[in-house]
Amino acid sequence: MSDKFKDIDDLLKGIVKPERTTLKQLFENKLREFKISPTAAYKIIDIQSRTIKGILNGSQKKIDITNLIKIANFLQIPKDRVVELYLDAVDENFPTYNISLEKIDFIKKNFDLAVLRKAGLINNITDFEHIEKRIVARLGLKSIYEYKKPSIDVAFSSGLFKPENDNTRAFWIKSALVCFEEIDNPYPYNRHELVKIFPSFRWHTMNVERGLEEIIKALYKIGVTVIFQPPMQKLQLRGATFNYNNKPCIVLTNYLGFYSTLWFALIHELYHVLFDWEEIKLNKYHLTDDSNEQLSVREREDEADHFAREYLLSKEKIIKIRPYLNDLSYVTEFAAENNIHQSFIYVFNAFDLQKNNRNAWAWARKFSPKVENSIKSIGIPWEKPVEESLKLIKPSIYK
């Protein structure tokens, strides 16, 4: 054969690479060669079965180096070859990555890592490979560099308000937008139908476990998408209304920790949908942010708060029931007559008496159902990718 054809053969051999040999394969081949069982081999090598399986599979990171020498002697191959194959197996189970300083800098500039850890999205603030993976998965990104902060210009704001928690607000907003994109409500927004179903909202509050879910289903059918997104440290957001595809999208969160405030936030945001929708469409979204002290913003927020309060349970009714708050059976009866869960009475009473009345707040805490019971079928936890969470929720809620 000429040198020319020999070179071609060598090239072709290089293209078709043989399958990579593993330590486990060599061990199994030796068992067949000696015609012995794994248990017999473990006794010959003098290593416990659990230990040798961990070495062969690469699932055991900490080992006694003498065990690799024993395996090399049994397999009759060089010790350095066993070490090499063992490290290959470990790398498959526990892959290592290199992350550039540029990427680390990007993550630090755009995310408040301490807040993300507190929320449960990441496990620590120093493993940037882990941080990148969790953020990318949660937001459905292909690369961390795809992340761009949403505009901070929101409805009802003059632009003078500059929050101190920009990164956290931006992430919270971006996460909500990803949810709305994934849900992609096909129904057109119908304001007339929203007005029609409004009277039914209050009595749904009496069904702690299913009431909120049922209302969210009804709103979805008229083009209003509602999700629950967990709160984040440093944010004083009670809710938000977004414009996605020219349809209202509302985010509820558990900022204050009361069952009643979930409903209050929903009615508050629906007020903005009914009466401020054109402005929200123009500005993309509106945040109900208790840290915003601009006069123009507070006036609009106070209007929405007043509407929600009057709709759910007026101050006049709280004054009427206040002398009887020690009588739970009477309070429950009064609440039923007003088609409202009794916890609203105690929470609204505490709000009316302001923060310095400890007894009122103790009652509010005592009689408030756990928020978790109301959002367990609609919650989108931080620790899971949005697509994964919505895959479970969409068939029953958003259909």
Q: What digits encode the pLDDT tens for the residues 322-375?
A: 999 999 999 999 999 999 999 999 999 998 887 668 888 899 999 999 999 999
Question: 229-263, pLDDT tens digit by residue?
Answer: 998 887 878 888 999 999 999 999 887 889 999 99
Residue 344: partners with Cβ closer than 8 Å, 6 or more residues away: 205, 260, 263, 312, 313, 335
| Number of Cα atoms under 13 Å in the Cβ half of residue 209 | 0
Compute the distance between CA of residue 248 and CA of residue 244 in angstroms, rounded to an integer.
Answer: 7
**Beta bridge partners of residue 252, listed in sequence order:** 228, 239
Q: pLDDT: is 359 or 6 the higher one?
A: 359
Question: 308-319, pLDDT tens digit by residue?
Answer: 999 999 999 999
Domains defined for the chain, CATH in brackets: 12-93 (1.10.260), 101-146 (no CATH), 175-393 (no CATH)
Q: Which residue has the tokens 């290592």?
A: 96
pTM of the predicted protein model: 0.73
Strand locations in the chain (E): 225-228, 237-244, 247-252, 285-289
Q: How many residues does the chain have?
A: 399
CB 153 within 8 A of CB 159: yes
Q: What HEC string does 252-264 produce?
A: ECCCCCCHHHHHH
User: Binning pLDDT at 50, 70 and 90, where does residue 178 land?
Assistant: very high
